[in-house]
Chain A
Amino acid sequence: MFTVDLLLSALVAGVLLGGFYAAVSLGLTVAFGQLNIVNIAHPAFVILGSYVAYMCNSRWGLDPILVGLAFTPVFFLIGVGAYRIYYESFERRDDEALRGLAFFFGVMFIIEVGLIMVYGVDFRTVQAPYIGQNFKIGAVGVPTRMLVPFCVSLVMFACVYLYMSRTFNGRAIMAVAQDRLALQLMAADPVRIKQLGFGIGIGTTALAGALLIIIIPIEPSIGRLYIGQVFAIAVLAGLGSIPGTLVAALVLGIAESLVATFFGPSWAPAVAFGILLLALAFRPQGLFGR
């Protein structure tokens, strides 16, 4: 079964989905790709962002995206705090690889359980005017529920990219994992820079969480489902490359959508991870890696 309309629809859906994946992965690209911190709790922070959006939306009817924006600084500070613990406990002891990983694993569980204790395990959703709307371009339907997160995601990318490439601190973050020496020559304190970078990484999860809950209903343990996806994207991107993350997310989104449309949706996740495995085996530096 193949028609041009179907192909176009699949591509559009894939691009929109990819845009959303990109938003969820952005913070990890910074933390994991650039700072070399294996924050496996990243999706859990995203879910935390979703619940903040849910709480403000259900209690005061606030727009989830605005809530996400408003809470970005709060999440930034949480990220800074988390990095301090991480640094003091692991990085300073030159002990981050295994134990750091285990640490974030534990953090993931604590966030998840904390959310269950507060909100229970029921599925939560948000209300917003753009949820449930859609329009058509030719025969291709474009749901605003997907389009709005897609656009927000692009803006997020643009902001982070500009910050990283145009400001002193941003460039320092990009440099910190590659070349500590150069960083010291720039007279920047690597710990402070990494702290800033990790803060930004976690900061993005406030908004990413808001986008997530716009797209699907959530419950606390749903974050686990995205661990594979976000790491796949970060690796596929070539660690630390922000444009690469966007492209990798789109590739994954489109691949899933095409497979779901033309082959059988139950193979979609295997395809995504199959791509990851192949990438790891044959091009571990990723699409945009050096």
Chain B
Amino acid sequence: MKSFGKKSPWSALKKALATTAAAAGVALGGAAQADDTIKIGFGMALTGGLAGAGKGALIAMEVWRDDVNARGGILGKQVELVYYDDQSNPATVPGIYTKLLDIDEVDFVVSGYGTNLIAPAMPIMMQRGLVFPALFGLAVNEKFNYDNYFQIMPAGPEPMTDWSRGFFEIAMAQDPAPKSIALVSADAEFARNAATGARQTADKLGLEIVYDESYHPKTADFSPIVNAIQARKPDIVFVASYPPDSVGMVKAVNEVGLKTRLFGGGMVGLQFASIMTALGPQLNGIVNYDFWVPEPTLKFEGVEEFLVKYQKAAEGKGVDPIGYYLQPYAYAYLQVLDQAIAATGSMDHAEIGKYMRDAEFDTVVGKVRFAPNGEWAKTRVLQVQYQGIEDNELATFTKQGTRVVLYPAEWVSGELNYPYAQ
């Protein structure tokens, strides 16, 4: 019954097709390849849930680009970053990387931020045999076993268990040693993996798991969870959480007055300036993982210069203003690539990949060497304790001594205050 002019749908369709095709053609038109630049392509979360980290990472990467270009580039070629917003959405990733490789014809690609956005790029990398430095994905390569995958996050060769190793070693070194543990994690990729690793370690150590639950990431009030944990009276509590729920958890723990000997472990977000200043003294006593803190043992060459540049660039961009946690690593994974290219003097991926598997790199996050599975050869997931925080000022967290390193032994910078609360 709904009949309209017989020609109209077809002409309209043709018109629409023609316009879109034209638009696509203009926008996607291949760029001419200049010989005097090295193009590095990547997708990055600039919108969506991971954009906070993604934008920070991007600024760090731009600092690296400027540094490299200022010193004359790589192999005498200037470096150009080509990047697109992956919208924190894994479904965009395959498209972005093929665009980078086939249309922008970038020379190298690196990953975006986070497991969810690294994994979808893997099949493409493997198909083309490309070197793939990756930024903060947990155990991505366990399924793929790709030899040219290199993870800059210092989780270690067994990422799932290495992640929380420090937390457990600290706990078990105390006298008396804890006997029971509560595990709580957010219902999302990283947190579940971290909790799985912690569960294995706890089993191995013979700790009794008295509480083992996960929660929906949007949970608004954590006091029911903390109360339920308290009722089981665990000796230690391992938490794997994301930024908003880390905050909710810390607040609830303080409000309920959770009594346990060690609390923390895998809480993402407590490293972010905005969250640290929001929580202030409520952080005291928590033992949590970290990747870089301004302690004397971690003053690697170049890191402080980098941070100065980063902090200047980050001003007014709505991203983390101090950039300790992720940003040096975003700088470092490009340094690794840089050094590998320079050392091999080649643009050949197979050759560079081989070099990266064998060599040791000197970066702003210290010396980096990769295990055969592309993870760090040795874990350097720090466990730090928040100590002596009395206010909510940003300056509190940029000075040493407020987050002392307890693990690994090589980088220890202070003493554990034990127990957390009795």
Contacts and interface: CB of A to CB of B under 8 A. Distances in A.
Interface of A: 1, 3, 5-6, 9-10, 13-14, 16-17, 20, 116, 119-125, 127, 132, 134, 141, 143, 145-146, 215-219, 221-222, 225, 256-258, 260-262, 264-266, 268-269
Interface stretch (B109-117, B220-228, B323-331, B364-372): B220-228
A120 B47 CA distance: 9
B218 A269 contact: yes
Contacts of B243: 123, 217
A9 B49 CA distance: 32
Contacts of A266: 187, 213-216
B221 A122 contact: no
Contact of B269 (A123, A134, A146, A258): A123
B17 interface: no
B315 to A, nearest CB: 12
CB-CB nearest 9 A-B residue pairs: A120-B318, A265-B215, A143-B255, A125-B278, A260-B224, A121-B51, A134-B255, A261-B224, A225-B218
29 contacts: A1-B231, A6-B227, A13-B221, A13-B223, A121-B47, A121-B48, A121-B51, A121-B52, A122-B52, A122-B318, A123-B269, A123-B272, A125-B247, A127-B278, A134-B254, A134-B256, A141-B223, A141-B256, A143-B255, A143-B256, A145-B251, A217-B247, A219-B52, A219-B244, A221-B49, A258-B224, A264-B213, A265-B224, A266-B214
Nearest to B56: A122
B277 to A, nearest CB: 8
A217 to B, nearest CB: 5
Interface residues of B, number: 43
A132 B281 CA distance: 10
B409 to A, nearest CB: 33
A119 B274 CA distance: 13
B254 A261 contact: no
B319 interface: yes
A93 B63 CA distance: 55
A223 to B, nearest CB: 11
Given A265-B213, A268-B216, A145 B228 contact: no
A123 B224 CA distance: 23
A258 B255 CA distance: 18
A141 B248 CA distance: 15
B227 to A, nearest CB: 4
